[in-house]
């Protein structure tokens, strides 16, 4: 199977700082990666779709200036939460699409903003 | 827009018994895919089973099988011989398949499955 990693797995930061989360496809090239946010005991909410070499497509209601997404290579996408506030605390999950239908999920990153 | 509904927030089953999780969806598309994902306490999303809408035959993966009713827009998951390791949140998901369709997965709200020893 294919492996997707996320780093860090858990991050705590102070309010007003920026945090970068990395999503890597370890053994395949991913032309498309997806970023989700998941609140406790809730479903996954898609934030944005990122394609390698082009701008990300954000879902309605997601602030593109606050959640910066960069998909610089076929194996790496990053999500930067800028000027983080306590309400940004959440579990962030990425997924990567292998050629064809298969989509593989990363293990998630827990963000806590103090 | 497509929607996915899971009407059972929580379900429980005795070990070795069978349980069925419900999922309905709404779409005007004729070509699409349906999925069941499992999210254990580790929160790693794991694909359980996939169904292509154009296939009439229900998908099966070992102890997991689906009952796909396209006309009724229903896609239930049956877990046979339940094991303690099956305890998790289960999410039903939809994805367009046609050209020009969105690649994104649309998730239901999930069903928390408890397996009692």
Three-class SS of B58-94: CCEECCEEEEEECCCCEEEEEECCCCHHHCEEEEEEE
- Distance from chain centroid for Cα A113: 16
Confidence bin at B99 (pLDDT 50/70/90): low
Question: How long a stretch of residues is chain A?
Answer: 114
Chain B residues with CB-CB distance to A43 below 8 A = 91, 107-110
Q: Do B33 and A101 touch (CB under 8 A)?
A: yes
What pLDDT sits at residue A101?
A: 73
Confidence bin at B3 (pLDDT 50/70/90): very high
B97: CB partners within 8 A, 6+ apart: B29, B31, B32, B33, B52, B53
Question: Strand pairing of B46-52 and B60-61?
Answer: unpaired
What pLDDT sits at residue A2?
A: 79
Of B46, B104, B107, the CB nearest to A43: B107
- B111 pLDDT more than 70: yes
Distance CA A97, CA A91 (A): 20
Average pLDDT, chain B: 94
What pLDDT sits at residue A31?
A: 82
What pLDDT sits at residue B101?
A: 59
Confidence bin at A98 (pLDDT 50/70/90): confident
A11 lies within 8 A of chain B by CB: no
Distance CA A24, CA A102 (A): 16
- B7 pLDDT more than 70: yes
Distance CA A9, CA A29 (A): 22
> What average pLDDT does range A62-88 have in this prediction?
94
Distance CA B105, CA A66 (A): 23
A21 against A51, higher pLDDT? A21
- A99 pLDDT more than 80: no
- A23 pLDDT more than 90: yes
What are the tens digits of pLDDT across the range B21-48? Answer: 999 999 999 889 999 999 999 999 999 9
Query: Which tokens in the block code for residue A18?
Result: 């920026």
- A96 pLDDT more than 90: yes
Chain A residues with CB-CB distance to B45 below 8 A = 44, 93, 95, 105
Distance CA A46, CA B106 (A): 8
B13 against B97, higher pLDDT? B13
Q: What percent of chain B has pLDDT over 70?
A: 96
């Amino acid at each position: 199977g294919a492996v997707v990693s996320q780093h860090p797995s858990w991050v705590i930061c102070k309010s007003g700082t920026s945090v970068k989360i990395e999503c890597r496809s370890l053994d395949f090239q991913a032309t498309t990666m997806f970023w989700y946010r998941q609140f406790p005991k809730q479903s996954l909410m898609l934030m944005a779709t990122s394609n390698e070499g082009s701008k990300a497509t954000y879902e309605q209601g997601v602030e593109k200036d606050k959640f910066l997404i960069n998909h610089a290579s076929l194996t790496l996408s990053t999500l930067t939460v800028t000027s983080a506030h306590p309400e940004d605390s959440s579990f962030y999950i990425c997924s990567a699409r292998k050629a064809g239908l298969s989509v593989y999920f990363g293990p998630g990153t827990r963000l806590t903003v103090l | 827009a497509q929607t996915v509904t899971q009407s059972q927030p929580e379900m429980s089953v005795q070990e070795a018994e069978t349980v069925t999780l419900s999922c309905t969806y709404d779409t005007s598309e004729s070509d699409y895919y349906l999925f069941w994902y499992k999210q254990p306490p580790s929160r790693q999303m794991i694909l359980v089973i996939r169904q292509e809408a154009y296939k009439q035959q229900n998908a099966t993966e070992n102890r997991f099988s689906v009952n796909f009713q396209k006309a009724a827009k229903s896609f239930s998951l049956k877990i046979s011989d339940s094991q303690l390791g099956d305890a998790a949140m289960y999410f039903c998901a939809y994805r367009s398949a046609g050209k020009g369709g969105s690649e994104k997965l649309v998730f239901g709200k999930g069903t928390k499955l408890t397996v009692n020893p």
